[in-house]
């Protein structure tokens, strides 16, 4: 194996292992690299009853900014989109109409660089 092939193999292995943080094998990616309010939000969710489907937290880039998204869970519960400081920007979907609050209608189409940060490992009974 040449040095170039060896380097390619190492880089490929590192790239694939970096992607493994978005699987269900672990409920956390590495929340320690996220703002403290993100860890606090996850802690609050963990104190609530298990949602159906279980809650999850995603990081995206939206209109050039880092945002955090909690998808809707059951029924008429709206989703929540937070800015990097923890302020709610909008509810992209969910609620009674299913279409959110209308304040960020392009979020689902415009979001980029999806990263699953956390998925509730608990299961509803």
Compute the average pLDDT of residues 21-50. 80
pLDDT at residue 28 in the model: 58
**Which residues fall within 8 angstroms of residue 44, CB to CB, at 6 or more apart?**
none
pLDDT digits (tens, 9 = 90+) for 106-121: 999 999 999 999 999 9
Question: Phi, psi at residue 100, to the nearest 5°?
Answer: 75, -160
Average pLDDT over residues 26-53: 87
The CA R_g of the chain, rounded to the nearest whole Å, is 17
Whether residue 38 is predicted with pLDDT greater than 70 in this model: the reply is yes
Would you kindly state where each structural domain of the chain is located, as residue ranges?
Answer: 26-119
Residue-wise pLDDT tens digits, 56-102: 999 999 999 999 999 998 778 899 999 999 999 999 997 777 778 98
């Amino acid at each position: 194996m040449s040095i170039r092939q060896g380097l390619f193999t190492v880089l490929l292995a590192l790239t694939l292992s970096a992607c493994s943080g978005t699987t269900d094998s672990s409920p956390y990616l590495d929340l320690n690299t996220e703002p403290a309010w993100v860890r606090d939000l996850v802690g609050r969710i963990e104190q609530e009853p298990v949602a159906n489907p279980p809650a999850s937290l995603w990081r995206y880039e939206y209109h050039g900014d880092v945002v955090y998204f909690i998808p809707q869970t059951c029924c008429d519960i709206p989703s929540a989109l937070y800015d990097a400081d923890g302020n709610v920007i909008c509810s992209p979907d969910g609620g009674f109409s299913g279409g959110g609050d209308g304040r960020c209608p392009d979020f689902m189409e415009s979001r980029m660089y999806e990263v699953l940060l956390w998925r509730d490992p608990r299961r509803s009974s």
